[in-house]
Amino acid sequence: MVLFGYTPGEPSRSDLILLQSTQRAAADAERNYFEPVEAVEAYRRLVVASQRILGPDDPDTLRARHRLGHWTGHAGDTRGAVRIHQRLLDDQRRVLGDQNNDTATTYSDILYWSQK
């Protein structure tokens, strides 16, 4: 099955270079706390690339989705942040389990953004 363009197997060298470049861009955008919209766009690109290259269930993909939710909330879209985190929580429970720290953090983030 192909999901988000992902096919199981080793990523190509060009895909790995693209992924690393996209990760750096997201990290650079995140450092500029006063431009959250920039971080949202960078993480959106990273999520798409990570899903295609690593797969939707890869821990790095899940972490990128978490950061996307985080910055979406900080950019002022609290409903969007809740939606992103709720979908992420379902996937984290399935992939990582309920007792995983990342899963617990996502649950806390849902509560946080729901109250904003």
Average pLDDT over residues 46-50: 94
Q: What angle do CA 66, 45, 50 make, to 5 degrees?
A: 65
**What fold, for 13-114?**
1.25.40
Cβ contact 113:81 at 8 Å: yes
Quick check: 4 pLDDT over 70? no
28-33: average pLDDT: 85
3-state secondary structure at position 56: coil
Q: Tens digits of per-residue pLDDT, 9-18? A: 788 899 989 9
86: its two tokens: 């709720």
Percent share of the chain, pLDDT over 70: 95
Task: Give Cα 8 to chain centroid, integer Å.
Answer: 20
With tokens 């992420």, the residue in question is 88
For residue 3, name the pLDDT band (cuts at 50, 70, 90).
Answer: very low
Task: Give the mean model confidence (pLDDT) for residues 8-31.
Answer: 89
Measured between alpha carbons, how far is 72 from 53 in angstroms, rounded to an integer? 23
- Is residue 33's pLDDT more than 80? no
Question: For the stretch 95-104, what's the b/e string if a residue is b when 16 or more beta carbons lie within 10 angstroms of its beta carbon?
Answer: bbeeeeebbe
Helices vs strands, H then E, count in the chain: 5, 0
Statement: residue 75 has pLDDT above 50: yes
For residue 5, the model assigns a pLDDT of: 63
Q: What is the chain's Cα-based Rg?
A: 14
